[in-house]
Amino acid sequence: MTLTLHSRFEPAGADLAIVTLIGDLDIASAAHLRGHLAALLADGADHLILDFTHIEFVDSNGLSVLAGVHSLLQPTTRAETDDRNGDTGTLAVAAVNQRVRQVLRTTGFTRIIPIYPSVETAITVHQARPHRPDE
């Protein structure tokens, strides 16, 4: 199955991108997702919420994309790769089914990437976080 991606900035023009994934996150789709997320980061997204409502399967290639994007959003990596002065970005996953949640838990991803019950909850938590004065 192919992976279809839909993205939007929330609110429009902000630095939070919501990405809805439809399909499987596997060897056949990992490069597509990696490129899509890299383009969002290049377009100014500092914070990503991945909507997994329609994801039924994730393999190690999909997990590798999540780990790579999480790493890119960390202060030391960002200071080396762009002009954001080492500020921390965030990656979160929302609306994960039990099977995929178990994969994330077993592989330790739940310790580094927050999982929220819904996209709306993830947005609410994001909006409630402390902001720097220039944000």
* Report field, pTM of the whole predicted structure over 0.85: yes
Q: Output the pLDDT for position 129.
A: 82
Whether the per-residue pLDDT at 117 is higher than 70: the answer is yes
Whether the per-residue pLDDT at 31 is higher than 90: the answer is yes
Quick one: average pLDDT of 8-26? Answer: 94
3-state SS record for the chain: CCCEEEEEECCCCCCEEEEEEEEEECCCCHHHHHHHHHHHHHCCCCEEEEEEEEEEEECHHHHHHHHHHHHHCCHHHHHHHCCCCCCCCEEEEECCCHHHHHHHHHCCHHHCCCEECCHHHHHHHHHHCCCCCCC
Whether the per-residue pLDDT at 132 is higher than 60: the answer is no
pLDDT tens digits for 41-82?
999 999 999 999 999 999 999 999 999 999 999 886 545 555
Q: Output the pLDDT for position 80.
A: 54
What average pLDDT does the structure give for the chain?
90
Quick one: average pLDDT of 28-43? Answer: 97
- Return all residues near 8 (Cβ < 8 A) that are at least 6 apart: 17, 18
pLDDT tens digits for 81-100?
555 455 689 999 999 999 99
Quick one: average pLDDT of 119-131? Answer: 91
The identity of residue 15, as a single letter, is: D
Q: What domains sit in the chain, N to C, each tagged with a CATH number?
A: 4-128 (3.30.750.24)
